[in-house]
Amino acid sequence: MVLRSPTDSPSMTEAEFRSFQELIRSNCGLFYAPDSQYLLEKRVALRMRAVEMNSFAAYRQFLQVRGDGEKELSLLVDELTTNETYFFRERKQLRALAEEIVPELLEGNRAEGKGPVRIWSAGCSSGEEPYSIVMLCEEQGLKSGTDFHVYGSDICRPMLQKARRGIYRHSAFRETESELVTKYFEDKEGLFHLSDAIKKKVDFIHLNFLDSERTALLGTMDVILCRNVIIYFNPETKKQVINTFFEKLNSGGYLLLGHAESLINLSTDFRLCHLKNDLVYVRPIPGEGKDDLWEIAAKAAINAGDRRRGGR
Ligand SMILES: C[S@@+](CC[C@H](N)C(=O)[O-])C[C@H]1O[C@@H](n2cnc3c(N)ncnc32)[C@H](O)[C@@H]1O
């Protein structure tokens, strides 16, 4: 199918759609179901205009070309990701992290003579999540560098650039108390500049979870947050990514998913753990039992209740 003018948006043929769908799924995990074909076409067409191509088939072929095609595929993926995020999203879970998980892990690390608690915000978008973690941990009196260290990774380069700049619009603070905004940001004509002191406490890395070679370069972690990311993957990719996280976590380490996400039907390797502020997953210490089905059902019921009340 061919685009004639910049405003033209013809449909992909079914075969073209399936070919793009599979290329994208296998490259970055994002899964476009047939009822999202329109969205995929719109985003592909945007990139085609940028490179002045007007045939879906020719553009699909170009994406296979070593070098230029690979670079273009990365730009297409940037266009396809959903990057919605904001500071202190799912606050109860972040409180569980700063008030319960990090202090407990730190105590264990200290007893074993290990370094700071290593926290990975996987799929961090424009940085609001890892920066929120640093701010909340510091509010608890924990010291970045000695007590904890935060890494943020994303597949989308423009989002990582935004994260490193640390400049945000008002909408990023929909769940942030004004005292925290005043304490950590400078309002410059309606744009909020994060203080350098917080900015330098997150290491940002460009990473695709499906790229096992690059993921292997990242050391093991004590906590992995992967929130509101795997909802865009199909079950097969979700399992693959969750296995990767299992391998990257130290025994006794925590996995925090978004509140609409769970490991039901994905993995039985983790143990569900009840904290004061939340339910989270733990990579069991060898010899520890796994959770029973009752607890898994309890998490599912809580998620269902959240959705009915209009939560995530
Ligand atoms: C909706 S945002 C979630 C941001 C944040 N975790 C939160 O909950 O607010 C999802 C992010 O996952 C990233 N992402 C999607 N697929 C990815 C992959 N294969 N590897 C790494 N990051 C990915 C997207 O680029 C996007 O920024």
Q: What is the pLDDT of residues 152-203, one digit of tens each?
A: 999 999 999 999 999 999 999 999 999 999 999 999 999 999 999 999 999 9
81 close to ligand 1 (CB < 6 Angstrom): yes
Residue nearest to atom 24 of ligand 1 (CA): 81
pLDDT value, residue 3: 57
Residue nearest to atom 27 of ligand 1 (CA): 125
Cα dihedral angle (271, 274, 278, 279), rounded to 10 degrees?
Answer: 30
In testing the pocket of ligand 1, which one of 23, 30, 81, 86 has its CB within 8 Å of the most ligand atoms?
81
pLDDT value, residue 287: 76
124 closest CA partner among 166, 159, 73, 100? 159
pLDDT value, residue 10: 62
256 close to ligand 1 (CB < 6 Angstrom): no
Residue 235 CB partners (closer than 8 Å, separation 6+):
265, 266
Whole-angstrom distance, CA of residue 303 vs CA of residue 260: 6
Secondary structure class of 42 (helix, strand, coil) = helix
209 close to ligand 1 (CB < 6 Angstrom): yes
215 closest CA partner among 132, 117, 120? 120
Whole-angstrom distance, CA of residue 25 vs CA of residue 240: 12
User: How far, in Å, from the CA of 246 to the mean position of ligand 1?
Assistant: 18
pLDDT value, residue 48: 97
Secondary structure class of 188 (helix, strand, coil) = strand
CATH of domain 91-308: 3.40.50.150
Half-sphere exposure of 104 (CA within 13 A, CB side): 14
280 forms beta bridges with: 273
253 close to ligand 1 (CB < 6 Angstrom): no
Whole-angstrom distance, CA of residue 10 vs CA of residue 57: 13
- The arithmetic mean of pLDDT across residues 260-289, rounded, is 91
pLDDT over 50 (residue 105): yes
The residues of the chain that CATH labels 3.40.50.150 are 91-308
Confidence of residue 205 (pLDDT cuts 50, 70, 90): very high
Residue nearest to atom 9 of ligand 1 (CA): 85
Whole-number mean pLDDT of the chain?
91
**Tens digit of each residue's pLDDT (9 = 90 or more) over 10-66:** 689 999 999 999 999 999 999 999 999 999 999 999 999 999 999 999 999 999 999
> What's 29's DSSP letter?
-
The residues of the chain that CATH labels 1.10.155.10 are 14-80
User: How far, in Å, from the CA of 186 to the mean position of ligand 1?
Assistant: 27
Half-sphere exposure of 6 (CA within 13 A, CB side): 4
132 close to ligand 1 (CB < 6 Angstrom): no
89 close to ligand 1 (CB < 6 Angstrom): yes
pLDDT over 50 (residue 294): no
Would you say 77 and 69 are in contact if contact means Cβ atoms under 8 Å apart? no
Confidence of residue 9 (pLDDT cuts 50, 70, 90): low
- The arithmetic mean of pLDDT across residues 83-96, rounded, is 97
Whole-angstrom distance, CA of residue 31 vs CA of residue 48: 20
Residue 127 sits at φ, ψ, to 5 deg, of: 100, -5
| 3-state helix vs strand vs coil in the chain, percent to 5 | 45, 20, 35
- The arithmetic mean of pLDDT across residues 112-137, rounded, is 98
The pTM assigned to this predicted structure is 0.90
- Specify the CATH architecture of the domain 14-80: Orthogonal Bundle (1.10)
pLDDT over 90 (residue 114): yes
Residue nearest to atom 7 of ligand 1 (CA): 85
201 closest CA partner among 119, 280, 122, 256? 119
Confidence of residue 307 (pLDDT cuts 50, 70, 90): very low
